[in-house]
Structure 1
Amino acid sequence: TLYGALDRLVERGEIEVDREEQVSGRRRRYYRLRPSGEDAVAAEVSRMRSAIAATGTRFVATKPAVSP
């Protein structure tokens, strides 16, 4: 679940609760990235860029020739 993922990110120290408030009787939590979370995001962006670049190269390399 989303809340489970948020709890795991908090446990790993990648995000932290910035503040909490009650709105219409329901608790709202606001989170912010910690430095280790920023590093994790940067690493994931790099990984995805590499995957996209590899996929793009693969598509170009396997494109069938067009017959006249």
Structure 2
Amino acid sequence: MNYVLALFLPPLSILLIGRPILSIVVFLIWLPAIIFSGGLTHPMFILLAWILIYQAHQDRRAR
């Protein structure tokens, strides 16, 4: 059960913040990463979080 949760948690969390296309892209990268290497590395999560925070900030600034 935990493995299934780990498989869908990153794309699902990105989908919930309102980025459906990015969540599909992350899922397509995430699935082979889980299968071949056990998941994305910690720096990759930091980079992804930084990009999402930056985009959210830019969206707010544009309004």
Q: Which has the higher helix share?
A: 2
Q: Using structure 1 for the length normalisation, give the TM-score.
A: 0.41
Q: Which has the higher strand share?
A: 1
Which structure: larger Rg? 1
